[in-house]
Chain A
């Protein structure tokens, strides 16, 4: 497999009246062809911003990519002209958003919203585009796709709309799909259907997928690799297996502990991550997780730990990662 996307030292900042928000603060990761990569973290840790940065959809002002490169199939997206970037969007990298209820235009038909993308990128005529749209809607499991073309978003339920969004994302056969919390706004039963659908379709078509989520269950089932983000940085990265069974960062560990478990007694209390995520306008020279960390030492106040390898393909940014291993072994 070869590298499809290489993000290197990406910084995205928002310049607001309250100060500079360092929403994405130097993240680097790769996505290989056909791979599913999950980005996990609490709300406000920079997951969505990092994803929007790839497509350069950060509203400017106030936001801007201030540093770093986003290399996609050999070209640096950060330096493309607006017109070249437009040709990448939807054609080579597509996006599925969190809110299916508001992400489709309420006054345009489903058909138009799919075919306009096809016509824009592939230069095919109306009839051809209609045919492809019907095909796509069938593929994402919508009944009676011909009739759907003439319907408006308000005729469809949330799950159906998200299927339309997926059809839209797949329409031009992109190399990469970025899904920003694609199931957060949906019912639990629908969530599973949508995730299953995305997994199958991306696998079948060989599309790489970046899935942004705060749902660790999703991660375990669908992701090949997992990047855990905290305060704008990737603090741990590894295979789903590594992250789940051998976490090497106290934040990852805390996240895993906070997931309700079916094998615990029903009355057992949840174990949340204590404290609040830091204010991204006031980051200092120390590790940003230390106020909430049970393993913090003096060194954590003075310098930010770098991502270091713990095993093949598994990296963690913690000074005490070895102690964490011992603690885990002791508890099990």
Chain B
């Protein structure tokens, strides 16, 4: 088992290096220039010499391999430098938002998992009964409804219903406070985006749980478990679910990693200052150093999540553990 974990950990290194190479060179293929945007973005005339000076300061005129090397060494020392656009340290800019995005992603994942696995299980066990139909409608709706639209509906709903029931309209707070400073305020802000994204997420996971469990329930070993006279509860929880959960874990992991950097529109709806928004801004501003750092952060999250999935696979399935 330890050998397996070590192997997985070592495999992360080439993936990260590959991603670094790709993002660095691809970004430099995009036409446009951060200095022009910074100085002449508002349409004023700017002396070309000044732009040149700015490029020199940012190191954009250095040989490309030299730039690449300094990016890589920065990566290894976890020093991403300053944002080319705002000039503030990148670790500071990202740090502000990482916390928020991570919290939303974790809350959405917990919401989704807590809903999806029991619902998917019930749906599979009671296949083709009314309860299965209800679950299927619930999950199809979740896949069909975009989370930003659901987000808008949640905000509107909150406003309308609090107005109707309590006399004053209540809206979630729009400024972020870390959870350890004011948990109530923090949660009352972040629970809504977590629900809005968690719903779609749980819908995907519910359908996955249902379909893999249905498959597993037809396996010979489930029939053996029945023939042994085990309690139905034990057959589902011990014999079937343990086999059915493997693909569900993959889905949950990939969605989690996606939430870390991909919540652009939902963040906009709830006015959250998260990684997704920073991402879009940095690309629009041609802020190479920021985009690179963000991509690397997301890649690290993806790779790490995959590592956790792999370890869970091995934990659930002995055939992987020993091969």
Chain B contacts to A: CB under 8 angstroms: 218-221, 223-232, 234, 238-239, 242-243, 316-319, 322
Contact A89 B243 (CB under 8 A): no
Q: Count the A-B residue pairs with Cβ separation under 8 angstroms: how many?
A: 79
Q: Please tell me if the beta carbons of B220 and A90 are within 8 angstroms of each other in the complex.
A: no
Besides A95-B227, A97-B224, A107-B242, 15 other CB < 8 A contacts?
Answer: A86-B229, A89-B228, A90-B230, A97-B220, A102-B219, A104-B221, A105-B224, A106-B318, A108-B239, A108-B242, A116-B234, A117-B228, A117-B229, A120-B229, A121-B229
Question: Quick check: is A91 within 8 A (CB to CB) of the other chain?
Answer: yes
Cβ contacts under 8 Å, B242 to chain A: 107-108
In whole angstroms, what is the CA distance A90 to B235 when docked? 14
How near does chain A come to B28, taking the closest CB pair, in angstroms?
48
- 17 pairs across A/B with beta carbons < 8 Å? A86-B230, A86-B232, A89-B228, A90-B227, A95-B227, A102-B219, A102-B221, A104-B224, A106-B318, A107-B318, A107-B319, A108-B242, A116-B230, A117-B228, A120-B230, A154-B318, A154-B319
The reply to whether A106 and B243 form a contact with Cβ atoms under 8 Å apart is yes
**Residue of A86, A87, A89, A106 touching B221 (CB-CB under 8 A):** A106
Chain B nearest CB from A51 CB (Å) reads 10
The reply to whether A107 and B243 form a contact with Cβ atoms under 8 Å apart is yes
Residues of A within 8 A of B228 (CB): 89-90, 94, 116-117, 120, 168
Residues on the A chain within 8 Å of B220, using CB: 97, 99, 102-103
A152 to B314 alpha-carbon distance, docked (Å): 13
A57 surroundings in chain B (CB, below 8 A): 223, 226-227
Q: Which residues of B contact A154 (CB under 8 A)?
A: 318-319, 322
Alpha-carbon gap, A111 to B225, bound state (A): 14
Q: Which of chain A's residues has its CB closest to B218's CB?
A: A59
Q: Within the complex, what minimum Cβ distance (angstroms) separates B125 from chain A?
A: 14
B interface SS class:
helix
Once the chains bind, are A120 and B227 in contact (CB under 8 Å)? no
Residues of the B chain whose Cβ atoms lie less than 8 Å from the Cβ of A90: 227-230
A223 located at the interface, meaning its Cβ lies under 8 Å from any Cβ of chain B in the complex: no
Chain A CB within 10 Å, residue with most, of B219, B224, B317: B224
Cβ contacts A161-197/B at 8 Å (1 or 0 each)? 0000100100000000000000000000000000000
B244 → chain A, closest Cβ, in Å?
A: 10
**Out of B227, B317, B318, B322, which one reaches A89, CB within 8 Å?**
B227
Nearest to A88 among chain B residues (CB) is B229
Which residues of B are found within 8 Å of A89, using beta-carbon distances?
Answer: 226-229
Question: A216 → chain B, closest Cβ, in Å?
Answer: 26
Give chain A interface residues in 78-130, CB to chain B under 8 Å: 86-91, 94-95, 97, 99, 102-108, 116-117, 120-121
CA distance A94 to B230 in the complex (A): 12
* Shortest beta-carbon distance from B72 to chain A in Å: 42
Inter-chain CA distance A152–B317, complex, in Å, is: 10
Within the assembled complex, what's the spacing in Å between the Cα atoms of A154 and B221?
A: 13
Of chain A, the residue at the smallest CB distance from B216 is A105
Q: How far is the CA of A87 from the CA of B231 in the complex (A)?
A: 9
Interface centre among B229, B230, B238, B242 (most CB of A within 10 A): B229
**CA separation between A99 and B220, bound complex, in Å?**
8
Does A231 interact with chain B (Cβ within 8 Å)?
Answer: no
Asked whether A55 is an interface residue with its Cβ less than 8 Å from the other chain, the reply is yes
List chain B residues, Cβ under 8 A from A55.
227
Query: Complex Cα distance A95/B238, Å?
Result: 20
Contact B230 A117 (CB under 8 A): yes
**Shortest distance from the beta carbon of B234 to any chain A beta carbon, whole Å:** 7
B319's partner among A59, A87, A106 (CB-CB below 8 A) is: A106
Judge whether A86 and B227 touch: CB under 8 Å: no
**In whole Å, how far is B233's beta carbon from the nearest beta carbon of chain A?**
11
A residues 38-87 with Cβ under 8 Å of B? 55, 57, 59, 86-87
